[in-house]
Amino acid sequence: MNLTLVPISGKAKIKEINHPFLRTKLLEMGVALGNEVTVTMRAPFGGPIAFRCGNSNISIRLEDAHHILVN
Amino acid sequence: MNILLFGNPNCGKSTLFNLLTGLRQKVGNFPGVTVEKKTGTFSIHEITHTLIDYPGVYSIYPKSQEELVVYDAIKELQSSAEPRVGVVVVDASNFERGLFLFSQLADLDIPMVLVINMIDLAGRNGIAIQLDALKNELKHTPIAVMNARVGLGKNRLLDALAQQIKEQKSENYFGINPTIFEPEAFEQQEADATKRQQSIRKLAERVVVKKEVQAQKSKLDWWLTHPVFGYVIFALILLVIFQAVFTLSSYPMDGIEWVFQQIAMHFAAWVPEGVFQDLLCSGILPGISGVLVFIPQIGLLFFFIALLEDSGYLARAVFLMDRLVRPFGMNGRSVVPLLSSMACAIPGIMATRGIPNAKERLITLFVAPLMSCSARIPVYTLLISVVIPKQRFLGVVQLQGLVLFALYLLGIISALGIAFVMHRMLKQTTRSIYIMEIPDFKPPHWRNIFSTIFEKIKVFTMEAGVIILALSIVIWALSNYGPTEERANAVRELKAEATYAKANAKERNQSEAAVLLEHSYLGKFGKTIEPAIAPLGYDWKIGIAIGSSFLAREVFVGTLSTIYAHDEASGNFRLREKLMREMHPDGSKKFTLASGVSLMVFYVFALQCLSTMAVARRETGSWKIPILQLVLYATLAYTAAWCCFQIF
């Protein structure tokens, strides 16, 4: 399952990010494999989604969120 | 000494920069790129130091063009032996993430100061940092705990800086090899980052005390990103901003023009008549006034943009709009600059700085002038009142209002169309990334907002203003000078006319001004281009008005009134009636539906604004883009106007 399928307020644990650029970028932002995230917002019409990880709320485009695999 | 300021986005770095330097700031660009470089000065024990503000980053490895500036600066630092101090500002609520950037910099042999900022918010998030334990871990780094928004901890920071400036101690705390990898070496960066984060997590376990707090569930975000309410709220906020910018800016704008008219009148009385007086009173002073008159709009618009940004709403608007503008090669961040351009393209183009991707920024900047700005309103309303009948369309909608709306829509649609074409034509040089932190809502910080306004006004006046002033003087000269003999003859002929003898002093002056304008170089220009603009339905009088309105579009109306002041047949009618009565030699009306619509459409497209060009040059670093805009939009305007004249 990937992050785009998690509903608002749904929690998920990051299993893998299968894109080197995204994986590095998110790691630097404090989003590491194994972290628990909560989806907070979804923009309409297939726009970006936002998730909370620790104390930060990070938004990312849907096409990038497809690369984030979760449990 | 140079003090280098680093930190994550939203860590309160700018607030801290403003707190330390106040108004002693200078804004420029980093070499070779249009990424803002802010430097400021402050003193400790009467020694002045320079503070350099770098763009907010999560890591020294660049993920966008803006972040490349930080990478380049750090590479340069590594090869120089010059004494310096690096400051890393850490948001206490995101301690581990901030410390990650700190660790990368500390490992590079840069003497560091660590600022733990926003300590009040961390308390509310249930996070407490044990300072003594942290000092024990980072022995050679002075640490200042702060809440920069209220100025708390400023003295602690100054003490920490004074200590590090004197001691110049650096330490590789995490025992990781201090090499700088290539920007594209993601595997090495990732391995390095993983190791760092492991040590940082262990450190955090020893110094950070976390308490479970009930997460505040904000209903606000649900409303703001709702598929219906989200867009309605965004539209309402924009509507309020435009209304405020229009109504509030008109008073100071009138004031500035009035003051300069008064100054010009007084100078005219003091300075002896002649070329110098004319240059001063009709060239330089109106030129300065023409630069300053933009300041209320720029100030007000940036007041609202900074307010939206500082409060955290802007990030939600970007989140909401990103999907809608992506097919046009733009980013959620393009929306505010584009919509600002409906008030005035100048602050709109200046606001494109917030777009991190170079291609998306260029597209936004390029199409911004197509959004109908407030200076086009006088042109549109005059022409609509002349050629569009006061009727109701389908019995309900005011036809004149409908035409005005259609002109705005035409601007928006063409902007999107050109953006789409550019998106297809331009190669993407860097990744279009949209990974953005959405900050929590917080009350706006007035010092930050006023510092933004001050900075934008300063940049406009000092950099674009000079160009605008110089070109205004050129256009003034063209409209005030012409072949001397020809002008003298024309005035003599005018004085021989029967109507002139009957006219009063004021009418005589107006007629003379009109005749002189007709025989100026600008008038010659109008007559020379008449064959070229005849297919659009214009004569040389409109040619002059188009030429002179290059200073600012609304000048079109003023020039037409000067030209039509001398018109025996039209007598004392108002400009609108004069235009309606204007006839071709064969007796047909000059301002018909066809020529009127053609002229309005011309103004939708044509880049009739020197100031916009000057700002586009400043923001892109060369004349290439503004000249391309000028040529492309002139071609477009000509073609569209010709089509309209043929159709109607």
* B13 Cβ contact list (under 8 Å, min separation 6): B5, B6, B7, B53, B56, B89
Q: What is the per-residue pLDDT for B164?
A: 93
Q: From the candidates A18, A41, A62, which should be mutated to test the interface with B, based on the most B CB atoms within 10 A?
A: A41
Put residue B285 in one of left, alpha, beta given phi > 0 → left and psi -120 to 50 → alpha.
Answer: alpha
Q: Is the pLDDT of residue B573 over 60?
A: no
How far away is chain A from the Cα of B395, in angstroms, using its nearest Cα? Answer: 36
Q: Is the pLDDT of residue B568 over 50?
A: no
Average pLDDT over residues B26-47: 83
Q: Where are the domains of chain B?
A: 2-210, 219-374, 467-647
How far away is chain A from the Cα of B239, in angstroms, using its nearest Cα? Answer: 21
Q: Is the pLDDT of residue B215 over 80?
A: no
Q: Which of B6-20, B54-68, B88-102 has the lowest mean pLDDT?
A: B54-68
Average pLDDT over residues B429-449: 84
State whether B59 and A40 contact (CB < 8 Å).
Answer: no
Q: Given pLDDT bands bounded at 50, 70 and 90, which one contains residue B569?
A: very low
Backbone angles phi and psi of B271, in degrees to 5:
-80, 135
CA B417 to each of CA A5, A47, B301, B401, B603: distance values in angstroms, whole numbers, following the listed order = 33, 21, 26, 24, 18
Q: What is the per-residue pLDDT for B183?
A: 86
State whether B320 and A64 contact (CB < 8 Å).
Answer: no
Q: What is the per-residue pLDDT for A10?
A: 92
| Neighboring chain A residues of B319 at a CB cutoff of 8 Å | 41, 43, 47-48, 50, 59
Q: What is the per-residue pLDDT for B565?
A: 60
Q: Is the pLDDT of residue B130 over 60?
A: yes
Q: Which of B413-427, B541-555, B566-580, B601-615 has the lowest mean pLDDT?
A: B566-580
Fold of B2-210: Rossmann fold (3.40.50)
Q: Which of A6-10, B227-231, B433-437 has the lowest mean pLDDT?
A: B433-437
Per-residue exposure over B250-286, b if at least 16 CB sit within 10 Å of its own CB, e if not? eebbeebeeebeeebeeeeeeeeeeeebbbbbbbbbb
Candidates B558, B447, B472; CA nearest to B289 is: B472
Average pLDDT over residues B408-413: 93
Q: B145-178 pLDDT, tens per residue?
A: 999 988 899 999 999 999 999 989 888 888 776 7
Q: B257-309 pLDDT, tens per residue?
A: 899 889 988 888 888 888 888 888 878 888 888 888 888 988 998 899 889 98
Q: Is the pLDDT of residue B478 over 70?
A: yes
Q: Is the pLDDT of residue B418 over 90?
A: yes
Q: Is the pLDDT of residue B208 over 80?
A: yes
Question: What secondary structure does DSSP assign to B521-546, as a single string?
Answer: HHHHHHHHTHHHHGGGT--HHHHHHH
Nearest CA in chain B to A46: B323
Q: What is the per-residue pLDDT for B99?
A: 95
| Neighboring chain A residues of B63 at a CB cutoff of 8 Å | 21, 24-25, 28
Of B240-249, B313-322, B516-525, which one has max mean pLDDT?
B313-322
Of B46-50, B80-84, B395-399, B508-512, which one has max mean pLDDT?
B46-50
Average pLDDT over residues B548-567: 74
State whether B320 and A21 contact (CB < 8 Å).
Answer: no
Q: Is the pLDDT of residue B570 over 50?
A: no
Domains of chain A (ranges, CATH numbers): 3-70 (2.30.30.90)
SS (H, E, C) B574-605: CHHHHHHHCECCCCCECCCHHHHHHHHHHHHH
Q: How far is B416 from B22, CA to CA, in rounded Å?
A: 40
Q: Is the pLDDT of residue B222 over 70?
A: yes
How far away is chain A from the Cα of B576, in angstroms, using its nearest Cα? Answer: 47
Question: What secondary structure does DSSP assign to B161-222, as a single string?
Answer: HHHHHHH-----TT--------TT-HHHHHHHHHHHHHHHHHHHHHHEEE---PPP--SHHH
The vertex-B33 CA angle with B456 and B65, nearest 5°, equals 105
State whether B434 and A64 contact (CB < 8 Å).
Answer: yes
Q: How far is B76 from B79, CA to CA, in rounded Å?
A: 5
Q: Is the pLDDT of residue B217 over 70?
A: no
Name the residue with higher pLDDT: B431 or B338. Answer: B338
A46 in contact with B at a CB cutoff of 8 Å?
Answer: yes
Q: A17-57 pLDDT, tens per residue?
A: 999 999 999 999 999 999 999 999 999 989 999 999 988 89
Kindly report the average pLDDT of chain B as a whole number: 87
Q: Given pLDDT bands bounded at 50, 70 and 90, which one contains residue B465?
A: confident
Name the residue with higher pLDDT: B27 or B443. Answer: B443
Q: What is the per-residue pLDDT for A67?
A: 94
Q: How far is B376 from B553, CA to CA, in rounded Å?
A: 6
Q: Given pLDDT bands bounded at 50, 70 and 90, which one contains residue B574?
A: low
Which residue among A28, A40, A50 places its CB closest to the CB of B100?
A28
Q: Given pLDDT bands bounded at 50, 70 and 90, which one contains residue B23?
A: confident
Q: Given pLDDT bands bounded at 50, 70 and 90, which one contains residue B362?
A: very high
State whether A44 and B440 contact (CB < 8 Å).
Answer: no
DSSP 3-state of A20: helix
Look up the ipTM and state it: 0.94
Q: What is the per-residue pLDDT for B490?
A: 86
Average pLDDT over residues B110-114: 93
A54 in contact with B at a CB cutoff of 8 Å?
Answer: yes
Average pLDDT over residues B501-512: 78
Q: Given pLDDT bands bounded at 50, 70 and 90, which one contains residue B368?
A: very high
State whether A45 and B324 contact (CB < 8 Å).
Answer: yes
Q: Is the pLDDT of residue B566 over 70?
A: no
A37 in contact with B at a CB cutoff of 8 Å?
Answer: no
Q: Given pLDDT bands bounded at 50, 70 and 90, which one contains residue B491?
A: confident
Nearest CA in chain B to A45: B323
Say which amino acid occupies B279.
L
Q: B591-622 pLDDT, tens per residue?
A: 888 999 999 999 999 998 888 999 999 889 88
